[in-house]
């Protein structure tokens, strides 16, 4: 497995792969890899001959009061996991190698990014779009795999690919959950034992939403109200719960198959997100 | 010579060229081609095996009161000139094929673009960066050639390539001038006979600046004052005259070799720009 720290070296290698007809897959991550990430690597291998995993805690997608500094990192374990998962290369840049001191170019998405998490985390998706555009240009992938866990992010990236004409197929892989239903997340390490127990409330509320819909409830307002009640009963502080069109992220009043329900809550001081599609 | 109207068809062709090891050169233009553009094609041929000329009057780089509608167009003549110049392909998209009705992603440069023309044309460089990023992704060039005539644009594009890691060499080709010194521009067709005669005042003022510097004048303020006087004497209305660092576009007080002087004037209702480097 190749390990690249220098962006230019990754790019030279990637361009050679493309010229040689090798299909490159990219899995962009912030590291501290868990089963969720490994499922993305596995998905990428289905579409690509060589999978590049980028591990980069991207400073420009964190707000000033967010957890950039304390975000968990474990390079050694990440490398071992990528090797075991069959990655062809790992890209380990630093903020210094990724951003010139006078960097002044950003990629912005101005509709999908101004909802949900985007409203609560100003600049977050601008940071995401910018770093992903950079990673696309550096790793030259034919396909890039993102997790459904970050549902809004996947929508924004798909829109970026469409609007900037990146020749890249975007694959969104299903959420990987703990046995009790909690979506895998590097941020779960922040949780105390009590908080970890409360955290099952997120997936519980999603199950409730799906059950209500199956039983005939189509009022988004009523489903959301029941979910909020359930989340609060589980000791979680609701940031938002919304039912939206899965592509445009427009809020819906009457729930239909294919709509998505997205939620963000605080579990103690830790902000957790989760989502599912109505089927 | 290939003619692509469909962005996806251009991209498929371009990706095949890259896989085949063909070096692609891109010359982005707004059409109504003149000697200046042809010099860019000639420059591109030095670096590339196959030169793609894009001809697209990009609506999103025009302000609401600018000349998008009346900008001159002549597709038939442009095709003939590209063929004669040895272009491998011409790309002729439309606003509809380039921009989805709900397009929401833009590329912005936030330092260099907020000076000079950028101050007078809000959103202009955002439109330029966005369309050029799209053209880069569609035409997959190894090298792209821009004219020094649009000096600030070249600086902004170079910055975009650096900050978003496009694997593309940017070449800036010298200004091509009419025999009397007027820089070639599609917008010169707007000029009445009198205005055309006055227009020589732009290059005349640049010659003055270079002569003053050669004679030992290094005060940017004094050189600019003399230029403004000269432009006004020639019947031109000054929009700006500035002497700047050629890379950062920071204004300089003491002129040095390698600094650039940039100007924009109104000649009647037509806005014209020109520039040169101090040597």
Query: Residue B125 is part of a domain; what is its CATH number?
Result: 3.40.50.620
What is the DSSP secondary-structure string of A203-231?
Answer: HHHHHHHHHHHHTT--BHHHHHHHHHHHH
Same domain flag for A51 and A149: yes
Structural domain includes residue A179? no
Helices (H), B140-199: 151-164, 193-198
Q: Residues A103-122: what's their mean pLDDT?
A: 97
Instruction: Look at chain B and report how many structural domains it folds into.
Output: 2
Structural domain includes residue A67? yes
Give me the pLDDT at residue B204, please. 98
Choice among B37, B106, B124, B207 that is catalytic: B37
Give me the pLDDT at residue B8, please. 98
Give me the pLDDT at residue A33, please. 98
To the query of whether residue A37 is one of the catalytic residues in this protein, the response is yes
CA–CA gap between residue B51 and residue B25 (Å, rounded): 4
What is the DSSP secondary-structure string of A69-100?
Answer: TTS---HHHHHHHHHHHT-SEEE---HHHHS-
Please give the residue of chain A at the shortest CA–CA distance from B167.
Answer: A137
Q: If we measure between CA atoms, which residue out of A159, A172, A252 comes closest to residue A213?
A: A252
Same domain flag for B212 and B115: no
- List residues of chain A with CB under 8 Å from any CB of chain B: 7, 11, 15, 18-19, 21, 99-100, 102-112, 129-130, 133-134, 137-138, 140, 159-160, 162-167, 248
Q: Residues A166-181: what's their mean pLDDT?
A: 98
Range of the domain at A75: 2-173
- List residues of chain B with CB under 8 Å from any CB of chain A: 7, 11, 15, 18-19, 21, 99-100, 102-112, 129-130, 133-134, 137-138, 140, 159-160, 162-167, 248
Q: If we measure between CA atoms, which residue out of A132, A268, A74, A105 comes closest to residue B129?
A: A105
Structural domain includes residue A202? yes
Same domain flag for B206 and B131: no
Q: Any idea what the CATH number is for the domain that residue A211 is in?
A: 3.30.1300.10
Please state the φ and ψ torsions of residue B144, each to the nearest 5 degrees.
-130, 140
Structural domain includes residue A222? yes
Contact B129/A15, CB-based, under 8 Å? no
Same domain flag for B122 and B98: yes
Same domain flag for A98 and A201: no
Contact A21/B18, CB-based, under 8 Å? no
Domain end among A149, A173, A197: A173
Beta strand A24-29 pairing with A143-147: parallel
Same domain flag for B41 and B137: yes
Give me the pLDDT at residue B73, please. 97
**Chain A contact probe: residue of B115, B165, B250 with most A CBs at under 10 A:** B165
CA–CA gap between residue B149 and residue B155 (Å, rounded): 11
Question: pLDDT grade, residue A32 (50/70/90)?
Answer: very high
Taking contacts as CB-CB distances below 8 angstroms, the residues of chain A near B140 are 167
Question: pLDDT grade, residue A21 (50/70/90)?
Answer: very high
Same domain flag for B245 and B135: no
Contact A167/B102, CB-based, under 8 Å? no
CA–CA gap between residue B93 and residue A15 (Å, rounded): 27
Structural domain includes residue B180? no
Average pLDDT along chain B, 279 residues, taken 10 residues at a time? 98 96 97 98 98 98 96 98 98 98 98 96 98 98 98 98 98 98 97 98 98 98 98 98 98 98 98 98
Structural domain includes residue A11? yes
Read off the pLDDT of residues A38-81 as tens digits, 9 standing for 90 and up: 999 999 999 999 999 999 999 999 999 999 999 999 999 999 99
Same domain flag for A214 and A103: no
Same domain flag for A122 and A54: yes
Give me the pLDDT at residue B17, please. 96
Long-range CB contacts for residues A153-159, cutoff 8 Å, separation at least 24: A153/A125, A153/A128, A155/A112, A155/A246, A155/A247, A155/A249, A156/A109, A156/A112, A156/A113, A156/A125, A156/A128, A156/A129, A157/A128, A157/A129, A157/A132, A159/A109, A159/A111, A159/A112, A159/B104, A159/B105
Same domain flag for A28 and A157: yes
Same domain flag for B160 and B199: no
Q: How many CB atoms lie within 10 A of CB B67?
A: 15
Q: How many CB atoms lie within 10 A of CB A251?
A: 14
Q: How many CB atoms lie within 10 A of CB B41?
A: 23
Taking contacts as CB-CB distances below 8 angstroms, the residues of chain A near B108 are 105-108
- Report the SS3 class of residue A34: coil
Give me the pLDDT at residue A128, please. 98
Structural domain includes residue B25? yes
Name the one residue in this structure whose structure tokens are 């409360």: A198
Taking contacts as CB-CB distances below 8 angstroms, the residues of chain B near A7 are 165
Beta strand B270-277 pairing with B260-267: antiparallel
Read off the pLDDT of residues A118-141 as tens digits, 9 standing for 90 and up: 999 999 999 999 999 999 999 999
Contact B165/A138, CB-based, under 8 Å? yes
Give me the pLDDT at residue A52, please. 98
Please give the residue of chain A at the shortest CA–CA distance from B160.
Answer: A105
Name the one residue in this structure whose structure tokens are 């997340």: A185
Structural domain includes residue B178? no
Read off the pLDDT of residues A137-156 as tens digits, 9 standing for 90 and up: 999 999 999 999 999 999 99
Q: Residues A5-30: what's their mean pLDDT?
A: 97
The structure's pTM equals 0.98
Same domain flag for B46 and B97: yes
Domain end among B117, B144, B173: B173
Please report, for residues A265, B12, B75, B96, the alpha-carbon distance to residue B93 in angstroms, rounded to integers and kept in the order given: 45, 15, 11, 8
Domain end among B173, B202, B219: B173
Please report, for residues B51, B62, B103, B106, the alpha-carbon distance to residue B59 in angstroms, rounded to integers and kept in the order given: 24, 6, 13, 14
């Amino acid at each position: 497995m190749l390990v690249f720290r220098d962006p230019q070296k990754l790019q030279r290698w990637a361009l050679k792969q493309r010229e040689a007809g090798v299909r490159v897959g990219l899995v962009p991550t912030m590291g501290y890899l868990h089963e969720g990430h490994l499922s993305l690597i596995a998905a990428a291998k289905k579409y690509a001959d060589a999978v590049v995993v980028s591990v980069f805690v991207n400073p420009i997608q964190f707000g000033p009061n967010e957890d950039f500094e304390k975000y968990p990192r474990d390079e050694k374990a990440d490398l071992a996991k990528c090797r075991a998962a069959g990655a062809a290369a790992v890209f380990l840049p630093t903020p210094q190698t990724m951003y010139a001191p006078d960097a002044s170019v950003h990629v912005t998405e101005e509709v999908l990014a101004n909802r949900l998490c985007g409203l609560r985390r100003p600049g977050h998706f601008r940071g995401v779009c910018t770093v992903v555009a950079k990673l696309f240009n550096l790793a030259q992938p034919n396909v890039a795999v993102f997790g459904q866990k970050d549902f809004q992010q996947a929508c924004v990236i798909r829109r970026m690919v469409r609007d900037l004409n990146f020749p890249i197929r975007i694959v969104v892989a299903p959420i990987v959950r703990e046995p009790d239903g909690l979506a895998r997340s590097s941020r779960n390490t922040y949780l105390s034992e009590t908080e970890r127990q409360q955290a099952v409330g997120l997936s519980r509320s999603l199950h409730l939403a799906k059950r209500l819909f199956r039983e005939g409830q189509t009022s988004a307002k009523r489903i959301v109200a029941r979910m909020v009640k359930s989340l609060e009963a589980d000791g979680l502080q609701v940031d938002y719960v919304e039912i939206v069109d899965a592509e445009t992220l427009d809020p819906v009043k009457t729930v239909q198959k294919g709509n998505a329900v997205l939620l963000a809550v605080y579990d103690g001081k830790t902000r957790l997100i989760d989502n599912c599609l109505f089927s």
